[in-house]
Structure 1
Amino acid sequence: MASEQTQLIFELPAVLDLKAAPPLAERLRALRGAALTLDAGRVEWLGGQCLQVLLAAAQSWRADGAALRLAGVTAEFCDGLKRLGVTPAELSGAEMEMEMEP
């Protein structure tokens, strides 16, 4: 059961730009299927390529029935979503919890 799995934490880099997309995708592929928290507490910039990677990851985790959570979301991360025309709900979906930074 997904709720019984150990929740892994993956800290997203501060800059999620074109250069960050391939290593981000590779790391998420390696973690696929695990109960995972994406810690967005350091994110200062969210670009389109990394957003595509995160959207694909959210879809993969939903398809696998695995828990995926986004925590520590910064204002800059939310600004990036808004700039790119994506709502937090579109990224998180019903199955992905999203926790804003205090």
Structure 2
Amino acid sequence: MGKAATGSMTLPTELDIKAAAPLAAELIAARGKDLALNASQIERVGAQCLQVLLSAAATWTADGQDLSIEEPSPAFADAIQTAGLDLSQFSARNN
């Protein structure tokens, strides 16, 4: 049985509270395959969306799929650091 297809998604510029539910829905729809999230466009990110992304990493780990954050913008990196988190917490590696 081969690896599932890999998907990619570009995260929106504004990951505020209004974006949390749509982001969660998009991630649920992409479940079951390896996924690369492009974070290069993010200008603002709130705690709710960080929680959604952390939950996705846990889900992908439990599912045995890979999840990665690619090209994190300075705003995204700052938000992670401000929250006391590390970029590696937003990834799932299941080799």
Query: TM-score, normalised to structure 2's length?
Result: 0.89
Matched residue count: 94
Structure 2 unaligned spans of 5+: none
Two-structure CA RMSD over aligned residues (Å): 1.6
> Matched residues in 1 for 2:16 and 2:43: separation?
10
Moved over 2 A (4+): 89-93
Q: Deviations over 1:10-46 (max 9, x none)?
A: 1100011100000000110111111111010101111
Letter in 2 for 1:45: R
User: TM-score scaled by structure 1?
Assistant: 0.84
Task: Show the 5 A alignment for 1:1-102.
Answer: 4-92=3-91, 95=93
- Between the aligned partners of 2:91 and 2:79, the Cα distance in structure 1 is 14
For structure 1, the 5+ residue unaligned runs are 97-102
The whole-number CA distance in structure 2 between the counterparts of 1:20 and 1:77 is: 15
Residues in 1 aligned to 2:76 and 2:35: alpha-carbon distance in whole angstroms: 18
- SS of residue in 1 equivalent to 2:69: strand
